[in-house]
Amino acid sequence: MPLPEKALIAEIRRLAGFASRRRRSGSGSVVLGGIGARITAGIGDDCAVLRPPPGHEILVTTDFTLEGIHFRREWHAPEVVGNRCLARGLSDIAAMGGEPLAAFLSLALPRDLPQAWVRRFVRGLVALGMKYSAPLAGGDTAESPNGILADIVVVGSVPKGKAVLRSGARPGDRVYVSGELGSSAAALMEMRARPKKKLNPREYRRHFSPEPRIKLGRILREKGLATAMIDLSDGLSTDLGHICEESGVGADIAADLIPRARVGKPEHEVALELALHGGEDYELLFTVSASKRLPSRIAGVPVTQIGVITRSPAASVLLLDSEGVYHQLIPHGWEHFRT
Amino acid sequence: MPLPEKALIAEIRRLAGFASRRRRSGSGSVVLGGIGARITAGIGDDCAVLRPPPGHEILVTTDFTLEGIHFRREWHAPEVVGNRCLARGLSDIAAMGGEPLAAFLSLALPRDLPQAWVRRFVRGLVALGMKYSAPLAGGDTAESPNGILADIVVVGSVPKGKAVLRSGARPGDRVYVSGELGSSAAALMEMRARPKKKLNPREYRRHFSPEPRIKLGRILREKGLATAMIDLSDGLSTDLGHICEESGVGADIAADLIPRARVGKPEHEVALELALHGGEDYELLFTVSASKRLPSRIAGVPVTQIGVITRSPAASVLLLDSEGVYHQLIPHGWEHFRT
């Protein structure tokens, strides 16, 4: 084996709490948390076996975390890479109003990577997984020809027919976002501008330790509040565009209403551009029927109305600026670490 | 966006048959084959939503396919890479006695990769998926810093409590393999020795177009025949070692009983070493209680007894050679394209 793969798998098992909990077939299943989810076989068999809650549908999402594209070793501690890797997947589950059942990690590592890096990466990932009842239940390991390559799969569940899709927004619905936007893009901009300077992770929390909005998403689904929902991974302009396209509607949003993150030291508000186009904040963007009232916080997270859904066959999004002038909002792709 | 990602996703949707079948939320679900599986939302939402058959558990497996590690562009046509990529995942489902529900593809591509390569790759993958009721239901796309990177996830299902694990082999059980072994390793050896020569894919079928043993695995599970099962992805010596370790048993196998693949032109039997240690044949290795009788073919696939399970706390595997002498069989790692 090119890598000490056995050692790696044993380590992942240990960190994921499998070592002491594995049982022989036939001697009963292993409960690893989650809402009645049972993992009856885990890392070490051909497949993981999951028992989803009765009356639920299954949610599946996969997300790459690639060195040089999604992170840089000199900018991100291994724990941060592990945390962000899983947060991406959990955030997709949140955006459907679902709950996680288990996570799966495909991990390809270059031959010369110190074992300590892997251990810290897995530790960061598993810590977030424990917090959100998403135990690591399997995956794949390989040698990487170049750089660290991870693909995270999160499997979740949602009561039958209740998943909140991108396609449910209707004209007149109000457009909301959770939390504040632009912190992750601000951190990237700062690191790009001053590559040698170490940022303080606590000043850019949504970048270094994003919390997936699982509880908020679940409440919005349970109470029938969200008509459409998406997580802000590509940036507001792009992700609102997705909702509009999938729902066959348009949207008007107001620049002054967009909650901008406060970052850095001295603390300051991020530029509007970062809140509009910066990705990877992992907040939720959702629409709510005009007949429903929303509190200003749900599950401890601020929710802010930023606009309304309009009739627009072209799915166009208009931005009202501070001077009262409307502009077409063109989605800017989220460009990660490209310069 | 670094890649023409929208175009790629549209292309995948088209090839996967999604374009014409997608529906708005609320207007009913989309049936894409499988045993009662329903995919209620697919590529284009935050998660895919799957409705597994009632009374079933969920199987999940993930497998990397990395350029330079698992394939080489000069040796493998894009369709072959796509076929093998999905076959790896389907084979894991077969090894549990399960049936596929859907496949998910994370695909990272270098900027300069011709669009035609991607199209042919996806076509190869989707063709195999259609054959085995594993429609492509989602995934992720990214730019690759280096080489083509694919991670395939297959989600399947199996009746509750019926998955065939690696841990169920008991002393006295007989050890069986399906098909013939060593063809894939023989193809690799041949290509390594003569990099310029094009191999005829029909002379090395298990390498260029492996068929996952889904039906065989299902029958072995349904009829309660297999006590333990694994697919031969790492090679007989390694994979039999896995069954022994997980079951806490040993095994005696006879060299003369191992069915060796016939390959090349003129057709010839592969060397014993390749059948013993060569990986990626995607046949099934399984154990059967001595009280059960097995026909010589199941679902059209030959099944051959190669040995018996023994009592051995050290999980040791012994190989009986043609002279009647026993040797300890040491697992040889499967080394892909390393030289």
The answer to whether residue A151 neighbours chain B at the CB level (below 8 Å) is yes
Q: How many domains does chain A have?
A: 2
CA atoms of B98 and B286, how far apart (whole Å): 14
Give the least confident one: A293-297, B3-7, B116-120, B210-214: B3-7
Q: How far is A240 from chain B (nearest CA, A)?
A: 13
Instruction: Tell me which residue in A70, A155, A246 faces B60 most closely, judged by beta carbons.
Output: A155
What mean pLDDT comes out for the span B250-266? Answer: 97
- Residue B149 and residue B114 in one domain: yes
pLDDT value at B32 more than 90: no
Task: Confirm whether A337 is domain-assigned.
Answer: no
Are A50 and B67 within 8 A, CB to CB?
Answer: no
pTM of the model: 0.90
User: Where residue A234 sits, what CATH number does that domain have?
Assistant: 3.90.650.10
- What is the SS3 assignment for chain B? CCCCHHHHHHHHHHHCCCCCCCCCCCCCCECCCCCCCEEEECECECCEEEECCCCEEEEEEEEEEEECCCECCCCCCHHHHHHHHHHHHHHHHHCCCCEEEEEEEEEEECCCCCHHHHHHHHHHHHHHHHHCCCCEEEEEEEECCCCCEEEEEEEEEEECCCCCCHHHCCCCCEEEEECCECHHHHHHHHHHHCCCCCCCHHHHHHHHCCCCCHHHHHHHHHCCCEEEEEECCCCHHHHHHHHHHHHCCEEEEEHHHCCECEECCCCEECCHHHHHHCCCCCCEEEEECCCCCCCCEECCEEEEEEEEEECCCCCCEEEECCCCCEEECCCCCCCCCCC
CA atoms of A134 and A137, how far apart (whole Å): 9
* Residue type at A229 in one-letter notation: M
**Which of the pair, A270 or A8, is modelled with greater confidence?**
A270
Instruction: Tell me which residue in A50, A165, A231 faces B60 most closely, judged by beta carbons.
Output: A50
| Residues 167-196, chain B, touching A (beta carbon < 8 A) | 167-168
In B, which residues are within 8 Å of A287 by CB distance? none
- Residue B191 and residue B105 in one domain: no
Give the least confident one: A20-34, A36-50, A298-312: A20-34
Confidence of residue A334 (pLDDT cuts 50, 70, 90): low
Residue identified by tokens 């509190």 is A295
Confidence of residue B38 (pLDDT cuts 50, 70, 90): low
Which residues, including other chains, have CB under 8 Å from residue B62's CB and lie 6 or more apart?
A: A104, A105, A106, A138, A139, A140, A151, A153, B89, B151, B152, B153
Domain span at residue B28 reads 5-159
pLDDT at residue A196, as a whole number: 86
- Residue A144 and residue A179 in one domain: no
Q: How far is A296 from chain B (nearest CA, A)?
A: 25
The answer to whether residue B321 neighbours chain A at the CB level (below 8 Å) is no
- Residue A150 and residue A185 in one domain: no
Q: What is the mean pLDDT of chain A?
A: 89
In A, which residues are within 8 Å of B169 by CB distance? none
- Residue B36 and residue B131 in one domain: yes
Task: Confirm whether B86 is domain-assigned.
Answer: yes
What mean pLDDT comes out for the span B32-51? Answer: 69
pLDDT value at A3 more than 50: no
The answer to whether residue B113 neighbours chain A at the CB level (below 8 Å) is no
Q: Cα–Cα distances in Å, from A201 out to A71, A78, A79, B2, B44?
A: 14, 13, 12, 28, 32
Are B149 and A149 within 8 A, CB to CB?
Answer: yes
- Residue A232 tokens read as 């802000």
What interface predicted TM-score (ipTM) does this complex get? 0.89
Instruction: Tell me which residue in B49, B69, B95 faces A46 most closely, judged by beta carbons.
Output: B95
User: Where residue B150 sits, what CATH number does that domain have?
Assistant: 3.30.1330.10
Burial-class residue A289 by CB neighbours within 10 Å (0-12, 13-18, 19+): middle
The answer to whether residue A142 neighbours chain B at the CB level (below 8 Å) is yes
Are A46 and B166 within 8 A, CB to CB?
Answer: yes
Are B108 and A46 within 8 A, CB to CB?
Answer: no
Task: Confirm whether B339 is domain-assigned.
Answer: no
pLDDT at residue A333, as a whole number: 59
pLDDT at residue B84, as a whole number: 97
Task: Confirm whether B338 is domain-assigned.
Answer: no
pLDDT value at B247 more than 90: yes
pLDDT at residue A313, as a whole number: 83
- Residue A129 and residue A271 in one domain: no
What mean pLDDT comes out for the span A112-138? Answer: 94
Domain-ending residue, one of B105, B134, B159: B159
pLDDT value at A279 more than 50: yes
Domain-ending residue, one of A131, A159, A187: A159
- Residue A46 and residue A179 in one domain: no
On whether the CB atoms of residues B112 and B27 are closer than 8 A, the answer is: no
* B83: number of Cβ within 10 Å: 25
In B, which residues are within 8 Å of A9 by CB distance? none
Q: What is the mean pLDDT of chain B?
A: 89
The answer to whether residue A333 neighbours chain B at the CB level (below 8 Å) is yes
- Residue B154 and residue B270 in one domain: no
In B, which residues are within 8 Å of A338 by CB distance? 2
Domain-ending residue, one of A107, A142, A159: A159
Task: Confirm whether A333 is domain-assigned.
Answer: no
Q: How far is B47 from chain A (nearest CA, A)?
A: 5
Which residues, including other chains, have CB under 8 Å from residue B121's CB and lie 6 or more apart?
A: B78, B79, B81, B82, B85, B148, B150
- Residue A175 and residue A314 in one domain: yes
pLDDT value at A93 more than 80: yes
Confidence of residue B57 (pLDDT cuts 50, 70, 90): very high
Task: Confirm whether B333 is domain-assigned.
Answer: no
> Mutating which of A47, A96, A277 best tests the B interface, going by the most B Cβ atoms within 10 A?
A47
- Residue A127 and residue A80 in one domain: yes
- Residue A192 and residue A320 in one domain: yes
| pLDDT, tens digit (0-9, with 9 covering 90-100), for A15-37 | 665 433 333 333 333 334 343 45
In B, which residues are within 8 Å of A163 by CB distance? 40-41, 47, 49
pLDDT value at A295 more than 50: yes
The answer to whether residue B214 neighbours chain A at the CB level (below 8 Å) is no
- Residue B61 and residue B189 in one domain: no
Instruction: Tell me which residue in B46, B151, B168 faces A96 most closely, judged by beta carbons.
Output: B46
